[in-house]
Amino acid sequence: MGTLVAVVYKDQSTANAALAKLRDLSSQYLIELEDAVIVTKNQNGKIQLHQAVNLTAAGATSGAFWGMLIGLIFFIPIGGLVIGAIMGALGGKLSDYGIDDNFAKQVSSKLEPGKAVLFLMVRKVTTDKVLPEMAQFGGEILQTNLDADAEARIQAALDADSPSAVSE
């Protein structure tokens, strides 16, 4: 099981920039993300989830490949491709991977309109290299499954260099 961290940012663009930085750090093998979700609340109070992984598209691609492969065996490659893509897309849409959507919505229910929460499920992290990189985005820890000391160290790192803290 991974480590869950939910960080509140001042807006969605800051949360998107933080996620982009985490993806860059992932390409450097400094962090291994299992899942990421950005949750926003608009001015009308509606909560929106922005998944980092499009499971419908991934399912359709995988289903199309396997459908075509099986279709080749039975001499109907196009039919297999279409049926496989449809079934894969349906399976991807119905599956929930990583961070539970209902959990993310429940935790974000008290979020102020305009702000965003970045939910991360982390498998591995090189903390001493990742935290200084993430400090530029600021943020406030909303929830983790870490002990109190680890959570306090993360919050201190986020507070250290952030010129635009969430509490503005």
| pLDDT tens per residue, range 37-89 | 888 887 787 877 767 654 555 555 666 666 666 766 677 667 776 776 676 66
| 154 pLDDT tier (thresholds 50, 70, 90) | confident
The domain limits of the chain are 3-53+97-160, 56-94
Sheet arrangement for strand 47-51: 47-51, 31-41, 116-125, 3-9, 140-144
Backbone phi, then psi, for 150, in 5-degree steps?
-65, -40
User: What would the mean pLDDT of 20-46 be, rounded to a whole number?
Assistant: 87
| 93 pLDDT tier (thresholds 50, 70, 90) | low
Res 17 pLDDT > 90? yes
Q: Counting Cβ atoms within 10 Å, is residue 86 exposed (0-12), middle (13-18) or buried (19+)?
A: middle
Res 2 pLDDT > 60? yes
Residue (of 16, 9, 22, 19) closest to 162 by Cα position: 9
CATH, domain range 3-53+97-160: 3.40.1520
Give the rounded distance of the alpha carbon of 67 from its chain centre. Answer: 29
pLDDT at 9: 92
Record the tokens describing residue 25, joined without a space. Answer: 């750090």
Q: What's the mean pLDDT when you consider all of the chain?
A: 77
Residue 98 vs residue 35, higher pLDDT: 35
pTM exceeds 0.75 = no
Per-residue CA distances from 26 to 30, 31, 33, 34, 123 (Å): 6, 5, 7, 11, 11
Q: Poorest-confidence range of 16-20, 28-32, 49-53?
A: 49-53
pLDDT at 87: 66
